[in-house]
Amino acid sequence: MANRNTDGLRYPSIDDLLEVVDSKYKLAYIAAKRAKIIKEDDYSSVENKCVKPVGQALEEILAGKVKAEF
């Protein structure tokens, strides 16, 4: 895997994510829901650096591929 994440917990950045989602609590909720779907379907809508579903969900959120209404 050439695009593997070598930044550990620093990627994707919480500061960057909070520019997309206005609350860390909303971010956690959205990421958990999307991660569950990614794990069940074994599909992500972006090319991922992260291996785990939560990281993949965060990458999708950062890319603007996940929308949620509260």
pLDDT in tens, 5-35: 666 667 899 999 999 999 999 999 999 999 9
Token code pair at residue 41: 């379907």
- On whether the pTM is more than 0.75, the answer is yes
pLDDT at 34: 98
pLDDT at 8: 61
Helices (H), 1-70: 14-20, 24-41, 53-62
pLDDT in tens, 31-70: 999 999 999 999 999 999 999 999 999 999 999 999 999 9
Widest CA span of the chain, in angstroms?
A: 37
pLDDT at 10: 76
Phi, psi of 47 (to 5 degrees): -75, 120
Minimal CA–CA distance to 27: which of 8, 14, 46, 44? 14
